Amino acid sequence: MELPPLYVVDQNFEAVERAKTELYVARELERTNLLGSVVAGQTVIITAGSRGVDSMAMVLRSLAEAVKARGSKTCHPAGYGKPWRGHSPRAGGGS
């Protein structure tokens, strides 16, 4: 069997100072109006993939603080981005 050629792909992103992370998160939340429909008393579930994001904990913390500033609560489900691993009917798991 002949396989197609393989190539190495490398992504390089501009390094951002950790201190600026909160500012970038706030700016993007404002620009996208992501929290526009969040109202006081709601519970907002926060989850995200972290591959290759050096300061993901700070990004998520900044997002949680922005949600709480609107009078809402946050929920952070466990699972490291794979909540259905081993529990999906398609994967043959479950309990």
Closest CA to 52 of 23, 22, 87, 9: 9
pLDDT band, very low/low/confident/very high, at 88 (cuts 50, 70, 90): very low
- Quick one: pLDDT at residue 55? 80
- Quick one: pLDDT at residue 94? 43
N-term to C-term CA, the chain? 40
- Quick one: pLDDT at residue 52? 72
Highest-confidence segment of 4-18, 46-60, 70-84: 46-60
pLDDT digits (tens, 9 = 90+) for 22-71: 888 999 999 999 999 999 999 988 887 767 777 888 888 899 999 999 99
